[in-house]
Amino acid sequence: MKCTPQSAENGTLLKFPERFLWGTATATTQIEGHINNEWTDFVARDGRTCRVACDSYHRYAEDIEWMGKLGVNAYRMGIEWSRLQSEAYGPLHQVELARYADQLDRLNAAGIVPMVVLHHFSNPPWVNSIGGWTNAKTIPAFVDFITKLVAALRGHVRFWNTFNEPDTYASCGYLIGEFPPLQKWRLDRFRAVVVNMAKAHEQVCRVIREAGSGLGKVEVGFSKNWTYFQPYDKSLPWDGLFAAFIHQQLNRFVLHSFAGARGQTASTFLGVNYYGRIRFKNLKPLVPTFGFSHQELMGLGVECDDMLERHPAGLEFALQELYQHCRLPIYLTEHGSSSADEAFRERDLKENLAALHRAISGGVDVRGFYYWSLLDNFEWQFGYSKKFGLLDVDFGDDRLPRKMKPLGHIYRKVCLENSIGH
């Protein structure tokens, strides 16, 4: 692995390993529109729905052209189960399958390596009607779907990402009531969802590895969100206990369910999504989405984007810890920030890439980075108010025009030069 800091005119130039993947990431429900899943009728805090979103269902070719302008060589995208299978063990919908195959072909032709996410916070209605992932019957149904999907698409893709953030999905749906089915403090269901997803993950890894890919060595893994949960004031025992409990459930329990207590798994890589941390003060999370103003938070020394606290230094340690646990190559399958302040976002990107570079220099085998997100999009319970895109989308205009943001130009330079000036 070659990863060297070099001197540059204005400071240090951090060079990344050869063949490093520089990508962006999206999710079906957040960008495609015209979807029939549990989010279709969900009204977000801004009063809006995902019914049209960025209309990428119709505009994927245009989105790929934008990726060309960004200079990325990788794209992490979802395939929506609810579009492809209308009943348990049913055949796959051929027209929808052909649309995804075309999307993958266009990416490959543009030199952009696709990574396909198989589950990103949504299920077909017939899965939700039996209790979703709380029901163990969902496991064989999912394995059936993936077996058919992989047989159909193995010539178009070689990177598969089974589950995106089972921790976020299960906690938002069953602990804090923010995602469908909007349940609160059902720790039993939270744990059942994680365990069932982990079992499905193992089976699906084997299916994918056995099927292989016509494009080269097949790769498969899930994506773990790594958020630090900490007390703001270490002398307050209840905040310490609360943070430790959440860390235990969302980080440890999920990691051990998916990757074994000693890292044994059928995955070939580990996906890591990293945004930062949440600190608790009197059991309240110090984040803007909990109602704290940026001013109040800054007064406490808590620097946030529009979602949570930034903690770039933590990325290096999270990667070291996860690598020690799993001993698998890592892809940083999401990092990004949401803010109207592009200078803030530039600093956030550079600080996090510097931390990533330190981890790689220290021996962690990280092979790619995917910026969240390509486009401003439907940010789940928050609707369209969180601006994570490298491209701006004007949701006030029915034509949903896309426009490069200043951060898009900066990211383009990183991708093309495989380095970052710091």
Least Å distance between CB 415 and ligand FCB? 20
**What residues from 399 to 418 belong to the interface with ligand FCB (CB under 6 A)?**
none
Tokens 């990183």 locate to 414
Helices (H), 154-309: 166-174, 187-211, 237-246, 254-259, 294-299
Q: Please list every residue from 260 through 299 that binds ligand FCB, using CB under 6 A.
A: 273
Per DSSP, the three-state class of 272 is strand
Q: How far is CA 128 from CA 18, 88, 90, 134, 305, in A?
A: 43, 12, 16, 9, 33
Q: Are 39 and 123 within 8 A, CB to CB?
A: no
| Binding segment (CB under 6 A) for ligand FCB, from list 7-15, 134-142, 162-170, 209-217 | 162-170
Question: For ligand FCB, what does the binding mask look like between residues 25 and 44, x meaning CB under 6 A?
Answer: --x--x--------------
**Contacts of residue 338, Cβ cutoff 8 Å, sequence gap at least 6:** 305, 306, 307, 379, 386, 387, 388
The active-site residue, picked from 32, 38, 80, 165, is 165
Rule CB under 6 A: is residue 225 a binding residue for ligand FCB? yes
CA distance 105 to 82: 22
Question: Among residues 64, 48, 160, 161, which one has the least CA distance to residue 105?
Answer: 64
Cβ atoms within 10 Å, residue 237 = 9
Site pattern 363..402 for ligand FCB (x: CB under 6 A): ---------x------xx-------x--------------
Given the complex with ligand FCB, which of 63 and 165 has the nearer CB atom? 165
Q: Does 348 bind ligand FCB (CB under 6 A)?
A: no
For ligand FCB, which stretch binds (CB under 6 A), given 150-158, 163-171, 255-263, 342-350?
163-171
Q: 210: Cβ–Cβ under 8 A, 6 or more apart, which residues? A: none
Q: Is 309 noted as a catalytic residue in this protein?
A: no
Site string for ligand FCB, 75-104 (x = CB under 6 A): ------------------------------
CB of 373 to ligand FCB, least distance (A): 7
Q: What percent of the residues of the chain are helix, what percent strand, and what percent coil, each to the nearest 5?
A: 45, 20, 35
Query: Where in the sequence numbering do the catalytic residues fall?
Result: 165
Q: Which residues bind ligand FCB (CB under 6 A)?
A: 27, 30, 164-165, 168, 225, 273, 334, 372, 379-380, 388
